A = this chain, B = another copy of it.
Amino acid sequence: MIEHIYTLRVMYPDTDKMGTVHHSNYAKYYETARWELFRTIGISYQSVEEAGFMLPVISMSVRFHKTANYDDILTVKTTLKAMKGVRIWFNYKIYNAKYELINDAETVLAFVNKHNWKPCAAPEIVINAIELKRKE
């Protein structure tokens, strides 16, 4: 299990007329957070695509506990939980500046060939980077 902390500030257009962050935006925060986790183990998501792979989300489940507001500093705590076959599991917890849990989520992603979208085993650069991190 590899953990990572990503921090962001809520932009104005991410709010809606309820006055709080529209729920669709959290999927964007999770995505950015997981690729920042990847970056800390030496992989950019860009390089994964350049190597001929893509990582679409195949399932996502979110529980919304509290609202977040414009200009809030949010902390996304991301956990790479597992990687097996073509799949990779991430968990997320988003906290506000008072360390209140805003929402938590899990996503499953699958490695696919960039050209034909066929599921395929994770590329070696990803497997090796994760192994290396785990041995630390």
Contact partners of A54 in chain B: CB under 8 A: 18
Copies in the complex: 4
B22 and A67 form a contact (CB under 8 A): no
Contact partners of A46 in chain B: CB under 8 A: 70-71
Question: Measured between alpha carbons, how far is A28 from B28 in the docked complex, in Å?
Answer: 13
| A-side interface residues, number (CB < 8 Å) | 35
Contact partners of A18 in chain B: CB under 8 A: 17, 54, 56
B23 and A16 form a contact (CB under 8 A): no
Contact partners of A24 in chain B: CB under 8 A: 13, 24-25, 27-28, 31
A58 and B64 form a contact (CB under 8 A): yes
B23 and A12 form a contact (CB under 8 A): no
Question: Measured between alpha carbons, how far is A28 from B61 in the docked complex, in Å?
Answer: 15
Chain A residues with a Cβ under 8 A of chain B: 11-13, 15-20, 22-25, 27-28, 31-32, 35, 44-46, 54, 56-64, 67, 70-71, 117
- Listed by A's residue number, 14 A-B pairs whose Cβ atoms lie within 8 Å are A12-B16, A12-B22, A13-B28, A16-B16, A17-B19, A18-B54, A23-B60, A24-B27, A45-B70, A45-B71, A56-B64, A59-B62, A59-B63, A67-B117
